[in-house]
Structure 1
Amino acid sequence: MNLWLRCHQSVRASQFPTTHSGLGKFKDKLKLCWNPQCKVAIVMCRGPSPDVGSRHGQHSMILVPMDTPGVKRVRPLTVFGQDDAVHGGHFEVHFENVRVPACNMILGEGRGFEIAQGRLGPGRLHHCMRAVGLAEFALELLCQRAATRQTFGKKLYQHEVVAHWIAECRLMIEQTRLLTLHAAQALDTVGSRAARKQIAMIKVAAARMACKVVDCAIQVYGGAGVSGDFPLAQMYSYVRTLRIADGPDEVHLSSIAHLELRDQLKKTQAKL
C-alpha cells in the first residue's frame, strides 16, 4: 500500500491526513513527536476512501521497525525542561520514503480504532491507579515534613492551613480511590464502551487530584519541593502531563457531559 503522512499529533477520527491505496507496501513522509524510544513504531493511517462507511472503520495500524530505512530519530524531548528518559524516553522521529510489507498491518484494514479502543479503557484506568498511589506517597512526604519542620515556634501541622491541606488531601485521595474502583467494576462487568463515562470521569478526577496533592506537598516543602533533593518536582511533571496524555481533560469533560445528557433525557422521556 502507498501511504503519505503529515505531521499531526492529535486529530479527530475524521481528520487523519494519512491515506493508503492498498498496493502491498506503504510509503510515507512524516514528522512525529512524543514517540517512545522503542524498537517498533505503530503508525495509524486512514484508508483511501475516507468519505465511505463509518469514520471509525477507515483506519488501520501498521508496524514500522525503527531500523527501517527512512526512519530517523532526530532529538530527545523533555518534559518541563527535564530529560524525559525517566518516563521511558520520547524522541522526535522523522519518517521519509519508508516502506514496509503489507503483512505489517495489524489485524486487518479498517481495524485501527478497534485496536486502540480495546486498550484505551484499561490503559486510562491504569493511569488513574498509579495517580492514586503517587498521591499517597506525596501525602506521606507532606506529613513527614509537616511533623518535623517548625515555623513561628510550632510544627507546620500545627498551623491550621497546613492541617486543612492534610485533611483535604486525604478526602480527595479516598474519593478518587472509590471512583477508580467504581470505574474498574464497570469495566469488568459491562466492558469499555458501556463504561466510557465512568472511565472518562476517573481520568479527569485522578489527574486533577494528584496534581493538587503534589502541589500541596511542594508548598509545604517550600523551595526544597521544586529542587532535585526530593521527588516532588518529578512527580508533579508526571501527573500534570497526565492531564494531557490519553486525551486532555477538556475532551473527557465534553464526553461526560454528552453521556450525562443522554442518560438524563432517557429518564425524562421514560416518565412522559
Structure 2
Amino acid sequence: MLENERHGPQFCLSVADSLPPQCGGADIVGWNWKAVRHESRDGVKWGEYTVVGTWDGARLTLTEPPKAPRRPDPDDEDSFASPCPTPAGGWKPVDPAQATEKSLQAAMRVARKSPQYAGAWVDQSYLGPGPIREFEGNDPAKLVLNVRFTGDLDGHERRVREVWGGALCVSPAKHTEAELRGIQMKVQKEIPGIQGSSVDTIKNRVSVTVFVVTDELRNDLDSRYGPGTVRAWGVLEPVAD
C-alpha cells in the first residue's frame, strides 16, 4: 500500500526499486495511515498489509481493518525441474570440457536460431534442498540445460550437443516462443483490464494479471487462444462467505 504526492492510498501492482518506493494501482477507500504501522520518507507513506473489502471494478472499499501481510506460498522447489527422466547415474556432463559458460552461451545461440525454439532455462534442483552454494550456482557443470522445441527433438538435441557437453534435457512444446510473444501482444490489445503479462517458458503459456479472475474471463481466454494457452492471475481473491 502506498500514498505519495501524485495519488492517495493505492495497492501496488508493481513496485519501483527506489527509496522511497514508487508504485501505482487501484485506489483504496477508507484507508487510515494512523491506524497501521508504516514507513514514510519525502512525503511518501507505504507498508505491506492484508486487506479485505468490496471491489466495484475500479476501487476497493475496506470492510475490515488491515491485518499483517499474508506471505504467498513459496514457489514449488521443483518449478524449474527438468521434465526429462533422470539419466542412469544422475545428471552429469557427458563432456566436461564443453560444460563451460562459453559452451552454454553457444548452446543457447544454436537453440534460438531454430524457428521451432520454445524457450530455455537451467535446472539446479537436483543439487538438493536449501540454498545453492555460490561456487555450485556459478558452475555450468552443475546444472541441467533445458531447451524446448515444437518439433524434431532428436535433430535439435544433436545440434545443441555439438557445442554443449553439460547435462541436457530437450523437451517438446505446443507453442514456439515467437507464437507466445504474438499471443501476449494480442491479449494485451484484445482483453480489457489486463494489468500485466509475461511469457512463461516452463509452462509454455502466457500469464496475464487482472484485478479479479472470473469464470467468464477464463472461458473467454480459452475460446480465443486455445485451452490453457493463457493463464489469468488475480490481484484480488474472492473471500468465502
Q: TM-score, normalized by length of structure 1?
A: 0.20
Q: TM-score, normalized by length of structure 2?
A: 0.21
Which structure features the higher share of helix residues?
1
Which fold has the larger relative contact order, with Cα–Cα distance below 8 Å and residues 6 or more apart in sequence? 1
Which structure features the higher share of strand residues?
2
